[in-house]
Amino acid sequence: MRSFIFFLLTSLSLVAQSNFPYSVIVEPVSINNLPGLHSYAVGQHNGLWVFIGGRKDGIHARQPFNAFPQSDNNTDIYVVDPQNDSVWSASINVLPTSIREQLQSTNMNFYQDADTLYFLGGYAFSVTANNHITFPHLTSIQVSGLIDAVINGQSIVPYFKQMTNQNFAITGGQMGKIENTFIVVGGHRFDGRYNPMGNPSYTQTYTNQVRRFTIDNSGNQLSISNYSTNSDPVHLRRRDYNLIPQKLPAGDFGYTISAGVFQPQADLPYLYPVDINDTGYVPHTGFNQYLSHYHGAKVAMFDSANGINHTLFFGGISQYYPDANGQLIQDNNVPFVRTISLLSRFPDGRFEEYAMPDKMPGLQGASSEFIFNKTLPHHPSKIAMLNNINEDTILLGHIFGGIHAVSRNPFAQNQTNTTSADDNLYKVLLIKDQSSSVQKVDGTHAYTIRVYPNPAKTHIDVEANIPEHSNAHYFVSDLQGRIIVEGAKMLAPKETMRIDLPESLSSQRLILNVVFNDRYYTTHKIDLIR
């Protein structure tokens, strides 16, 4: 990535915390024999937790021969009783080969549905393939039976089922469920050895999709049906992001993609969110989220009295962070941060973002998980229903694991060996506090475009309604997720650029996306008439 740091011209504003009347407290919890883990899957049953997969080293090395070594794969299943300070473990080496290889992967997609933890994809070295691969498997895990077996030293084999489908070869995406349909959002297929210079030691394909299907887990063999996709090579080109459950403006429950990497024209995070509903997706390019950009611990809440969604993000990795003086710092190396941030969505669809007064204890939180307190009133997708909670002090849940760093940019400085898998456990408390203050981050922007003619026949003209000279990168794509036209131009305020549309195209709906300065996106639908 490019090395570039500067201060924004404006400070963050200090405002009364009127729409989220809580202080956030992060407290360490001591449990003996917890492992250091990151990029793992977690399930829970009756207050007990189970950790599967992930890695026991820190952030991956820059050298291909040293990145993602098999020796640091997590090959144990851990069961934790947080109330009684107890940890049990069992080796996955007793499992069939294909299950054993997948369960030691990193950055898998997972989702717990009732007593079943679904484990999809993931990346690791496969002895069978004699290569690092993204696994094309969906594995179902009976959580309660597995936990009992690990605690009692019994066979864990009966609690796993697996099926293979190349559409499941995804790492770095996120899995969820809307009504009866499972979704896998974003991610990529990565096979081979990581290489920071793009040399041919690997192949990589972003899914650019939301993949939807139903699962039949009732018999001895897993099966799926009703498979469908939404494709978009710009808005859905996301990986290593946070997928947050939300009550959407229309009133139904869905999800929101928060940030993620990497933009198609720049090795930088996306900033704007994208909603995922029961049939499609909606990008919100008019708002930028500046304070949390990489997968890590987060928790969603809903204030039904005011119709407001709130999501807290804990540390992690971010292109921007507030300093001690209230300035927002941009670092295009995308450093580790201590920021605890709040993203709020109002009933009219408007977003606001805040930096909370408290911070994480250290540079940690990236690739950690939030273990939600299921004794709280909540939606099945793990949204805490705040208005159904009467206590002044609320245990939201716990943060476990992740990558711990001692400097902000160990990867850019080739100091990955200074990072480690975090073995810390924290409980997260909300304390009702009407007087608490936070720093508000202005995520709105003044970059828009006017597009004409529309419908179009041979070309479109794009007028840049922008406040300053800016680099404009544009993409014209179709509804099948293919980029038809791509280019870049430096534009002045009110300047117009012409984009010619290929003669080979037939009448159809096209999508135009223009990104200014790798930061401000705008999107328009174009009807091509031939």
What is the structure's pLDDT at 5?
46
| The two structure tokens encoding residue 182 | 């499972």
Three-class SS of 409-427: CCCCCCCHHHCEECCCEEE
Task: Identify the residue whose tokens are 């993609």.
Answer: 257
Displacement of CA 233 from its chain's centroid (Å)? 17
Cβ–Cβ under 8 Å, residues 505 and 476? no
Stated pTM of the model: 0.96
Displacement of CA 184 from its chain's centroid (Å)? 11
Rounded-to-integer distance, Cα 302 and Cα 249, Å: 12
Cβ–Cβ under 8 Å, residues 107 and 37? no
Largest Cα–Cα distance of the chain, in whole Å?
71
Q: What are phi and psi of 208, to 5 degrees?
A: 55, 30
What is the structure's pLDDT at 272?
98
Task: Give the pLDDT confidence of 230-277 residue by residue, as tens digits.
Answer: 999 999 999 999 999 999 988 899 999 999 999 999 999 999 999 999
- Other Cβ atoms less than 10 A from the Cβ of 109: the count is 27
Give the residue among 480, 445, 479, 451 at the shortest CA–CA distance from 464: 451
Cβ–Cβ under 8 Å, residues 126 and 104? no
Q: Indicate the residue type of 449.
A: I
| The two structure tokens encoding residue 145 | 């039976």
Task: Identify the residue whose tokens are 């003086």.
Answer: 325
| The two structure tokens encoding residue 402 | 């992740």
Rounded-to-integer distance, Cα 419 and Cα 339, Å: 18
Domains of the chain: 5-441 (2.120.10.80), 448-528 (2.60.40.10)
Burial of 422 (0-12, 13-18, 19+ CB in 10 A): buried
Cβ–Cβ under 8 Å, residues 402 and 422? yes
Q: What are phi and psi of 475, to 5 degrees?
A: -135, 130
What is the structure's pLDDT at 253?
96
Query: CA geometry: angle at 110 spanning 106 and 115, to 5°?
Result: 135
Rounded-to-integer distance, Cα 244 and Cα 367, Å: 15
Rounded-to-integer distance, Cα 230 and Cα 211, Å: 7
Cβ–Cβ under 8 Å, residues 408 and 418? no
Query: CA geometry: angle at 393 spanning 389 and 399, to 5°?
Result: 95
CA separation (Å) from 245 to 154, 276, 298, 300? Answer: 36, 9, 10, 6
| The two structure tokens encoding residue 78 | 């851990």
Task: Give the pLDDT confidence of 405-455 residue by residue, as tens digits.
Answer: 999 999 999 999 999 999 999 999 999 986 667 899 999 999 999 999 999
- pLDDT < 50 regions, the chain: 1-10, 16
Rounded-to-integer distance, Cα 124 and Cα 126, Å: 6
Rounded-to-integer distance, Cα 350 and Cα 355, Å: 17
Number of H helices, E strands in the chain: 2, 45
